Amino acid sequence: LLYGAGLRIGEALSLDRREVEPARAELRVRGKGDKERVVPLLPVVREAIAAYLALCPWRTEALFVGKRGKRLQPTVIQALVRRLRRALDLPETATPHALRHSFATHLLSDGADLRAIQELLGHASLSTTQRYTAVDGARLAQVHAAAHPRA
Q: Which residues are catalytic?
A: 8, 32, 97, 100, 123, 132
Rounded CA-CA distance 141/40 in Å is 30
Q: Is 132 helix (H, G, I), strand (E, B) or coil?
A: helix
CB-based contacts of 82: which residues, under 8 Å, 6+ apart?
none
CB-based contacts of 47: which residues, under 8 Å, 6+ apart?
22
